[in-house]
Structure 1
Amino acid sequence: MQSGTVRGQDRPAGWHVEAVTTDSPDQAEIRELTRSILADRAPDDRVARLDESETFDEEFYRHLGAAGLIGLDADPAAGADADPRHEIVVLEELGAGHTSMAVCLVVQYMALRLLSHYGGDDQRKRVLVPLAEGRGRAAFALSEEDGGTDIARAMRTKAVRDGAGWVLTGRKTWISGAATAGHAIVLARTSEEIRSAIDGITMFLVPLDADGISVRVLDTAGIHGLDTCEVTFDDVRLDDSTVLGEAGAGFRQVIGTLNGERLNAAAVALGIARGALRSAIEYASQRQAFGRSIGSFQALQHGLVDGAVQVESARGLLTRAAEAAHAGDGRSEALSAMAKVAAADAATDITDTGMRVMGGAGYSREYPMQRYFRDARLYTFAPLTNEMLRNFIGERWLGLPRSY
């Protein structure tokens, strides 16, 4: 890495971007382990090659599982989830280096939580244990073509009773990893006699090789190292053992995991922002124009400084939100929403700045900036749009009237 001079001392360009001084000893150990596995098993050229070929990194996923970075410290038998403060460390590091894998793990952490809370003994043995060990993966099938933020009201996928089992019909879309996962957690409407839109929906743990299931991979702009799919269920027959949790209460059960998903999405977006900022600083330190480093140009420096401020601000919110979630503090939902908005804005702003700093080099697939630029856009609308989260924050944090 090219060196820049800071107050007379030679330090790597962008060194402070990587310096995290607020980690607990456990977090520091997890961060170092994740970085070590990334360096050994997923160097930049490998990540770029798999992104270009749109191939999931099965080998790297298995290494993460074997190192304990998927199951982390979860203990399903005792009803204990993984510590959210540990999950965000893994996801930030992956976001900075292997974005598609980070997105995959957001889904796996959610699946682990749902299976831990609501899975029966057999479901945990067959699906949860392999997942935690990196030997299996699950997709989460909620979104539909006509239902995004208002999915419960718009849900058309349904499961009807048929003897001792169920018949599942419908279509889910924008489902991450469905082409290569073994199971999917599928939400379907099972009753029209409901008290509200979120009632009468059931979670099913569905093997994706079951008769009647077809998966079509969608051609997306980013996250090329993880398939994004449309999944169709054509009279898929399921027995009662596939019900996950309480029939009719599936959406309410999922709501309890959404705060963790927002928190983890923020961590990935923060990682993307950090990785892009590091790349832009390194390039600006090395690139010469008019007889000096372009990193010495004031206008360019200001853009990078603004990015550094955004990274550190988002990290502060993320850390505070994770601490609140771990403590069971009711403010964690609004703080997680703030962290997700801040991190997503940081990622999109910094990747835009990085493309400008690097010019033609940023546009080239030889450099990771174009991948960061494409991948960052996911978190402007997933798992909820930043606009909807701002509505949520206005109501929950500011006490303003509901705007939706």
Structure 2
Amino acid sequence: MSIQDDFKPAPPADITEAEEFAALRKRVRALLAGHVTPERLNKFDEAEEYDVELYREIGAAGLIKLDGELHGHGPKHQAQAVVLEELGAGPTSVGVSMVVQYMGVQLLHSYGNEAQQEEFLAPLHRGEAKMSFALSEPDGGTDVARAMKTRATQLADGSWSVSGQKKWIGGAMDADYLILLARTSEISRAAIDGITMFLVPRSTPGIRTEVIDTMGIRGLAQCDVYLDDVRVPEANVLGERDRGFRQVLGTLNGERLNGAAVALGIARGAMETAVGWARQRHAFGRAVGSFQGLQHSLVDASVKIESARLLLRQAAEASDAGQGTNETWSAMAKLAASDAATTTTDIGMRTMAGWGFFRGLPMQRYFRDARLYTFAPLTDEMTRNYIGEKHLGLPRSF
């Protein structure tokens, strides 16, 4: 019997949540149980390939559209968080991709006209199309508006010519279209103005992508995107000209929530793996989980997980209710979930010792993948700056 056969993760803790979201969680778990195995997760991570089939199944099951309407409101943040936590605990790379898809859904719901929603949002809802969000550039991540060099110039016929480079664009190599931001007016005192969003089919001439070799989230390619005189019709401007970056800022609360949900899922998956191992691995005649020092470490990590869960739930509820404090709570949830994920995966690696290094078991993947959320969608340091200013009322620190 192999070590994989011996290993059985601990069952997840009971989750007390509203009936609507408990039922949704049950649906997601049933879908994943029917499609995802440890071997499949390992296969896509090792091959560094995206699980397109699973993404299509998620869309076909209505888990992208959720409770949203094509020409009405978008899906609830609480519903998105449920889906993303479950994906984070298993097919993490698909979960990270879904954070981007939900961001596209929100932008198209908020700023797309009916024609754009029919062309771009409807297939996204069904899982028949996949988008990438092209914002970051080689010279700017956190301060990208000031550093943005990608330019869009309007031509005599009203169309646009876009040239420049984007960096760290998840899934751009096989996306159906990009939501792309480019500077359309000269930088002013308010650097966030003068930037416009465009809907750009990936097949448009002048777009070239190269994969960036990364240590984690290996089932979702991070890409350089090169844009050389890419022609975009005026009809593909998303939202208001020159105010695209301000419009994106309006979605960051949801992105923080969703990043927190995936990080929470990573932490939960790592905890289940570590506890399952600690129960079954024996040393000195007893289960290693019976040693007090190891128990204390696992308990401390578990407290971080449940604390992050409560913050995330409170933030998502407040966001769906339109409460003014939701952005601060979302920032706290992201920070707490990031800490829970990195702490739990570190303790998990120590719990499993040499077996944590084994690429046939999931702990090393959780350990690598968790590091993403220390700097995405915003660095933990910038998140602390935000909380210090907005929650504690301290002077701006940057």
Question: TM-score, normalized by length of structure 1?
Answer: 0.95
The alpha-carbon deviation at position 47 of structure 1 amounts to: 1.0
Residues 1:97 and 2:55 are matched in the alignment: no
Deviations, residues 273-328 of structure 1 (Å, cap 9, x unaligned):
00000000000100010000000000111110011100100001000100110111
1:320 maps to which of 314, 321, 335: 314
Residue in 2 that maps onto 1:236: 230
Matches of 2:60 and 2:209, distance apart in 1: 29
Counterpart contact for 1:50–1:225, Cα < 8 Å: yes
The alpha-carbon deviation at position 194 of structure 1 amounts to: 3.6
The alpha-carbon deviation at position 362 of structure 1 amounts to: 0.5
Residue in 1 that maps onto 2:77: 84
Matches of 1:153 and 1:195, distance apart in 2: 10
Residues 1:66 and 2:66 are matched in the alignment: no
The AA in structure 2 aligned to 1:20 is I
The alpha-carbon deviation at position 219 of structure 1 amounts to: 0.3
Residue in 1 that maps onto 2:116: 123
Q: Which is further off, 161-170 or 254-263?
A: 161-170
The alpha-carbon deviation at position 18 of structure 1 amounts to: 3.3
Counterpart contact for 1:13–1:285, Cα < 8 Å: no
The alpha-carbon deviation at position 14 of structure 1 amounts to: 3.6
Matches of 1:273 and 1:294, distance apart in 2: 20
Residue in 2 that maps onto 1:35: 29
Residues 1:53 and 2:47 are matched in the alignment: yes
Secondary structure at 1:76 match in 2: coil
Matches of 2:67 and 2:96, distance apart in 1: 20
The AA in structure 1 aligned to 2:353 is G
Matches of 1:136 and 1:18, distance apart in 2: 35
Secondary structure at 1:329 match in 2: coil
Residues 1:394 and 2:364 are matched in the alignment: no
Name the % identity. 56
The alpha-carbon deviation at position 193 of structure 1 amounts to: 6.1
Deviations, residues 354-402 of structure 1 (Å, cap 9, x unaligned):
0010011110001000000000000000000000000000000011111
The AA in structure 1 aligned to 2:394 is L
Which residues of structure 2 form unaligned runs of 5+?
1-7
The alpha-carbon deviation at position 50 of structure 1 amounts to: 0.9
Residues 1:362 and 2:395 are matched in the alignment: no
The alpha-carbon deviation at position 77 of structure 1 amounts to: 1.4
Residues 1:249 and 2:232 are matched in the alignment: no
The alpha-carbon deviation at position 117 of structure 1 amounts to: 1.4
Counterpart contact for 1:76–1:117, Cα < 8 Å: no
The alpha-carbon deviation at position 239 of structure 1 amounts to: 1.3
Distance 1:371 1:193, change over 3 A: closer
Residue in 2 that maps onto 1:208: 202
The alpha-carbon deviation at position 120 of structure 1 amounts to: 2.2
Residue in 1 that maps onto 2:4: none
2:377 maps to which of 377, 383, 388: 383
Counterpart contact for 2:146–2:187, Cα < 8 Å: no
Secondary structure at 1:231 match in 2: strand
The AA in structure 2 aligned to 1:91 is L
Residue in 1 that maps onto 2:153: 160
Residue in 2 that maps onto 1:310: 304
Q: 1:282-361 maps to which residues of 2 (within 5 A)?
A: 282-361=276-355
Residues 1:185 and 2:179 are matched in the alignment: yes
Deviations, residues 6-41 of structure 1 (Å, cap 9, x unaligned):
xxxxxx9744x43212x1111011101111111111
Matches of 2:178 and 2:60, distance apart in 1: 22
The AA in structure 2 aligned to 1:207 is P
Matches of 1:237 and 1:160, distance apart in 2: 10
Secondary structure at 1:97 match in 2: coil
1:44 maps to which of 38, 47, 51: 38
The AA in structure 2 aligned to 1:149 is T
The alpha-carbon deviation at position 195 of structure 1 amounts to: 5.0
Residues 1:109 and 2:102 are matched in the alignment: yes
Secondary structure at 2:251 match in 1: helix
The alpha-carbon deviation at position 76 of structure 1 amounts to: 3.3
Matches of 1:382 and 1:77, distance apart in 2: 30
Counterpart contact for 1:281–1:295, Cα < 8 Å: yes
Residues 1:19 and 2:14 are matched in the alignment: yes
Question: TM-score, normalized by length of structure 2?
Answer: 0.96
